[in-house]
Structure 1
Amino acid sequence: MTIPQLSNDPGQQALYTLIQRSIANAGGWLGFDRFMALALYAPGMGYYANSLRKFGLTPESGSDFATAPEMSKHFGRTLAHQVAEALQVTGTDEVWEFGAGSGALALQLLDNLGDRVKRYTIVDLSGSLRARQQDTLKAHAHKVQWVDALPEQLSGVVVGNEVLDAMPVQLLVRKSGVWHERGVVWNADALSQRQAGVSPSDSEASANAASASPLQWEDRVTDLRPPMEVPGEHDYLTEIHSQAEAFVATLADRFKAGEAATGKGGAAFLIDYGFPEGEYFHPQRSMGTLMCHQFHKSDTDPLVDVGRKDITAHVNFTGVALAAQDAGLNVLGYTSQAHFLINCGLLPPLVDAPLDEKSMAQKLITEHEMGELFKVVALGTTEWEPMGFAQGDRTYAL
């Protein structure tokens, strides 16, 4: 089936075609998690698989958002202290990073860890990002390797900064007391009607019609439920995180296989924005946490300009912790990014740092910036207390 021209970008047009076919093959309705996977990761077309610039400090660079390593080199320098401790405890010399982005964090960790790391493995599905990472990490090329899937066994220290939030989620919506799963449908008639109603003399309306999408929401009654009851009868939109929890369970299996084969265990440090379950499914959080990012602006419509903007959801850290425990890992700690970085020694080197460095590093720990919204959870094959959780551990809140 030929679909209407929705974009002047051949890659984006191909992505719309792929999504239309996927919806048709699924019987006319595609769960949001499957749509999100295509929008972000379809080879060569999805947001993280195409050549668009994503990471940067300002929209003038053509980027969409900045992560902590782009903001301050002191993020990776500080995290390196924790990774070094974990390497010593696990008796390993390999670091694994998931979703390495621009490569900024890898560079900071490698620069600061030195000979304590013999091999640094990046797990990333994006060919364009891999090329950028290779350029960034030229000085450490002899240590770095790239893979697109986990091996059957794994030992070492895993790092994931803003990885869980980009894993596809299912959307649940309670309407008039009945739970539905929200999915995506293709409504070509709606697109045709919108385009047909545009006057050629109205340039603004014509531009809007050209960018219009036939993708629309459709809700279906479901047996799925959030992991805890949401009090009240009001309409309520939220997310469930099956893929993130499955990722953690798979990581646990690989760690255990690695430990059985080599006698050496593993530890993982996952950093992201999110909440424990009680806050995540608070009755007042009735619009969910789904968010898109483009040119350093946020919006809540993932069905528009597909493939050109990021789609994320906040992390349910209780679900992550329970999935890890159920798979045999220990939850070693959970706290805010501010507590974690301060515990790991962020502040002393900033005393003599230039003012601009101090200012950017402060954003990492300030409550109204990244300090409180971002959390850190640590998982491991053996039980120990990482330095990042020495003060302010909130594992009790999960």
Structure 2
Amino acid sequence: MNRSEQLKNRIEKRIRRDGIAGKKLNAAPIQADVRCISFYDYMEMCLYDQEYGYYRSGAVRVGKSGDFYTSSAVGTIMGEKLAGFLTRLVDEYGGCADVGEWGAGTGRLSKQIIDIWEQERPDWLSQLTYMVVDGSPVHLAEAERLFQESRFETQAKAEIRFMTPQEAEIEHWRDKPLIIFANELLDAFPVHRLVLHEDQLWEMAVTLSEEDSSRNGRPFQYAIVPLTNPELEQSLAADGIKLAEGQEVEINLAAERWIKEMSARMSAGALIIIDYGHEADELAGPHRMKGTLLCYKDHIAHDDPFRFIGEQDITAHVNFMACRRAAEKSGWKVSYYQTQKQFLIDQGVLDDLVDHDGSDPFSEAAKRNRSIRQLLWSDIMSEAFKVMILQK
């Protein structure tokens, strides 16, 4: 039995054992009294089950051989610009701060940053502790391999530590300032899904599929239950969201909690969030009747979370208004918030465009210009991605 089947069976057992009463959502009138778990619990198991979850088992998930790309795969531009910005932040804290990437994947972006620092700031690099944090054992192993194969001598100077989020949580956090950046982390946190049905707000849940659907590879289907957490309705109200009949929306309480937890640990420092998302009114606009949930398998996007159990990424757009609320309540100051495109421009990326005669499309100059154009003018990477910087 493969991992996907194992995980499917584990979810089914949880529904049968711990499921709460809900109602199926069908074309026919809603049926009562089915056992189900919240979509949050389902998504958490699909992505983070310790044995069979998408981010806990299997192969490398990011890059050409995985299911999706991040901005670090588009040349080295993002790494270079982040390195420069982080350098200025460290200088703000007197040249004495530790740095880490949370949700680092295979460590490619961190490696690009360290490469730049070795060349440009060896003066304080030897005092630096750099944390590479990721929940995937495969990703962490790949990150360690990437650094070990590097030709540079930085590892003998800077302390580079590879750890899981659990290890980072129990790590003794020093008194010195800490700067953490997270590139496409929050969109992978499990979300609650809500729907307005017959003028009542319900939480979307997951129940066992009808027999014919199960035969077609969809062992689960949506149901609805009363809200499992009062914070869900409070979050909607705080953002001024009013759903239309039948409209669905995602609430990422886990992202809000993470921002608060990072603040509680850091007496001084910064949190840099880079992710795709929008303000609340855009996320709940009339053109988004089905929310923003997407799945990625072999670089193909679709919206069915009940296929490829444990073998596909499941994401939702980040609500940056909710992030701002959580940040300000927990002691952060929002020092910067712009699109990724504007952030790169503010970091001088336009000055990196170079003239060339165009005779060789594979020259370093041509490839670099293409990378910059892709980051600045791609519909997804330029405007949908935001950069929020929190400081204290």
TM-score category by the smaller chain? 0.7 to 0.9
Q: Deviations over 1:188-221 (max 9, x none)?
A: xx23x457xxxxxxxxxxxxx4x61321111123
Partner of 2:139: 129
Assess if the C-alpha contact under 8 Å between 1:302 and 1:311 holds in 2.
yes
Percent of aligned positions with the same letter in both sequences?
Answer: 28
Q: How does 1:85-124 map to 2 (within 5 A)?
A: 85-91=88-94, 92-114=96-118, 115=122, 116-117=124-125, 118-124=128-134
Assess if the C-alpha contact under 8 Å between 1:75 and 1:361 holds in 2.
no
Q: Secondary structure at the match of 2:349?
A: coil
Q: Secondary structure at the match of 1:358?
A: helix
Q: Distance in 2 between matches of 1:369 and 1:249?
A: 28
Deviation at 1:14, TM superposition (A): 1.9
Assess if the C-alpha contact under 8 Å between 2:283 and 2:319 holds in 1.
yes
Q: Secondary structure at the match of 1:179?
A: strand
Pair 1:276–1:297, CA change in 2 (3 A): same
Q: How does 1:185-224 map to 2 (within 5 A)?
A: 185-187=207-209, 190-191=210-211, 193=212, 209=215, 212-222=217-227, 224=232
Partner of 1:377: 388
Q: Deviations over 1:252-292 (max 9, x none)?
A: 00112xxxxxxxx2111110000012222223322100000
Pair 1:214–1:157, CA change in 2 (3 A): same
Partner of 2:74: 71
Kindly indicate whether residue 163 of structure 2 is the aligned counterpart of residue 153 of structure 1: no
Kindly indicate whether residue 87 of structure 2 is the aligned counterpart of residue 84 of structure 1: yes
User: Which amino acid in structure 1 is aligned with residue 259 of structure 2?
Assistant: V
Kindly indicate whether residue 262 of structure 2 is the aligned counterpart of residue 255 of structure 1: no
Q: Distance in 2 between matches of 1:168 and 1:229?
A: 22
Q: Secondary structure at the match of 1:100?
A: coil
Partner of 1:272: 275
Q: Secondary structure at the match of 1:286?
A: coil
Partner of 1:287: 290
Q: Deviations over 1:310-357 (max 9, x none)?
A: 000000011111101101111111000011011112232332552122
Partner of 1:309: 312
Partner of 1:164: 186
Q: Secondary structure at the match of 1:50?
A: coil
Q: After the TM superposition, which of the residue ranges 354-363 and 156-165 deviates more from structure 2?
A: 354-363
Deviation at 1:152, TM superposition (A): 5.5
Number of positions where the alignment pairs a residue of Structure 1 with one of Structure 2: 344
Deviation at 1:23, TM superposition (A): 2.0
Q: How does 1:239-254 map to 2 (within 5 A)?
A: 239-254=250-265
Q: Secondary structure at the match of 1:283?
A: coil
Q: Distance in 2 between matches of 1:231 and 1:181?
A: 15
Deviation at 1:141, TM superposition (A): 4.5
Q: Secondary structure at the match of 1:65?
A: coil
Select the residue among 303, 319, 333 that pairs with 1:330: 333
User: Which amino acid in structure 2 is aligned with residue 242 of structure 1?
Assistant: L
Structure 1 runs not aligned, ≥5 long: 1-7, 196-208, 257-264, 382-398
Pair 1:120–1:39, CA change in 2 (3 A): same
User: Which amino acid in structure 1 is aligned with residue 144 of structure 2?
Assistant: Q
Q: Distance in 1 between matches of 2:303 and 2:213?
A: 21
Q: Secondary structure at the match of 1:347?
A: helix
Q: Deviations over 1:285-304 (max 9, x none)?
A: 22100000111110101111
Q: Secondary structure at the match of 2:206?
A: strand
User: Which amino acid in structure 1 is aligned with residue 163 of structure 2?
Assistant: V
Give the structure-2-normalised TM-score: 0.83
Deviation at 1:69, TM superposition (A): 0.3
